[in-house]
Structure 1
């Protein structure tokens, strides 16, 4: 059973490049592999990665291979630059005056990753007056070895919404509740931990965009469940109450 556009597929992957006789792991969603390769990130959630076939930001080679795979299947293949991160482009090495970097508060240090104009680059060289910043993807122009495993397919609206939520919010999926509210609308209940997330408004905007474009949802009733502790409760044993904070949201198309 091949996958088709719009299918919600869970994968494990390891992406490596060759350096002489060695293979260097550049990216993976498998915790044990990340630790052994020295690229473990304690802030990252290591679990099966969600791909919406034909709609996700994965390299073209992975999206193409998934269309001929099934749950439980594994593949190993080479992704050439045209189906990975593109060719290396010299025109993406930009010369910027040191004075301009200083205005941005960026030290002109070779090898430093910097953000300029919303783009991420690496300072490749520095002269007395200029810094040369490389805005190519770090893997541009490289052949990639990809180890790909399909571990599951999401079938229900409940599972699909929960996985989309945790794309943008580090929440326990068991603490998320989803219920349909008529055609094209859902009620989405989130735990109070969501209120402590930075850039919550931006996270919600991205989520609503996904709910609209990937699932065709037209309206969301958002409920945040908050437990309020009672201060100075009476001796009769008054218990903490639970309050729901509700907001109506309409995903933008």
Structure 2
């Protein structure tokens, strides 16, 4: 691990910078989250719907746990740290007020039979059934790791600074499944044109996603206009 003290002249990551990071997260020495596909498989938490590999985030914009965000502001590219985060720098302290009784009739409205341990979503709040007794269901809406110390291995892989790479990584932030090699970007001093793969046209909320990408590109690159092009190609006929 590279945990040396910073000397005068070392380059720090600034708040608002676009960076790529890798990480492994542990609770009670058990892996619960990672960007490493092989490690996920080895530890039995592999999710085939997950996209593994370094992730792009904006430093200091609460896209990470507070303790990770703070650490990145002190790190250099290529540096790796092992961090032990107290609850207030991780998933927060347990809040007794988030453990609530929900009438069983609320579940019956949706033909759901509650079971202890079942994850539930009530009015947009995600919780877990703790107990069931006489028509009353006790649900804990605290994060499952609230009140717990967590350990992370965090590596700052790269600071994204080239304009075209910034555009590609911003697209990937909002469309994680996209292969950036499939993106075609044209840039001038005042305009950016993004050619999206055909499959993006059928995504849910694609217009909202494009608006969010455009706003980020304009903010970061200072351009006046962002355009999206969707190309549809003739399908090859089967012989």
Alignment pair present for 1:116 and 2:160: no
Partners of 2:218 and 2:109 lie apart in 1 by 40
**1:56 to 1:178, Cα distance in 2 relative to 1, 3 A:** farther
- Find the aligned partners of 1:59 and 1:105 in 2 and give their Cα distance: 36
1:141 maps onto 2:151 in alignment: no
Which of 16, 20, 26 is the equivalent residue of 1:6? 16
Give the match for residue 173 of structure 1.
180
Equivalent residue number for residue 244 of structure 1: none
Residues 100, 214 of structure 1: alpha-carbon distance in 2 compared, 3 angstrom cutoff: farther
What's the counterpart of residue 26 of structure 2? Answer: 16
Alignment-derived partner of residue 58 in structure 1? 64
The aligned length equals 226
Q: CA deviation at 1:107?
A: 2.5
1:35 CA displacement: 1.0
* Structure with larger RCO (C-alpha < 8 A, sep 6+): 2
Structure 1 unpaired stretches of 5+: 232-253
The alpha carbon displacement at 1:128 in A equals: 2.3
Cα deviation digits, residues 67-115 of structure 1 (max 9, x gap): 1111111110111111111101111112111111121343311111111
Task: Find the aligned partners of 2:214 and 2:205 in 1 and give their Cα distance.
Answer: 14
Could you state the TM-score of these two structures normalised by the residue count of structure 2?
Answer: 0.86
More strand as a share of residues: 1
Aligned-residue offset at 1:213: 5.7
Structure 1 residue 131 corresponds to structure 2 residue 137: yes
RMSD of the alignment, in Å? 2.1
- The match for 1:106 is 112
TM-score for the superposition, normalised by structure 1: 0.82
- Give distance in 1, aligned partners of 2:236 and 2:50: 35
Q: Please list the CA deviations of residues 176-225 of structure 1 after superposition, one character each: whole Å capped at 9, or x if unmatched.
A: 12233553x42111010112334434543543454456656664211111
SS of match in other structure, 1:148: strand
Q: Which of the numbers 26, 32, 53 marks the counterpart of 2:32?
A: 26
CA distance in 1, matches of 2:223, 2:108: 46
- Residue 77 (structure 2) pairs with residue 71 (structure 1): yes
What residue is the counterpart of 2:93 in the other structure? 87
Post-superposition shift, 1:131?
A: 1.2
| Cross-structure match for 1:189 | 195
Long gaps (5+) in structure 2: 1-10
Q: 1:212 to 1:129 in 2, by over 3 A?
A: farther
Alpha carbons of 1:117 and 1:206: their partners in 2 closer, same or farther (altered >3 Å)?
farther
Moved more, 196-205 or 116-125: 196-205
Q: What secondary structure does 2:69 align onto? A: helix
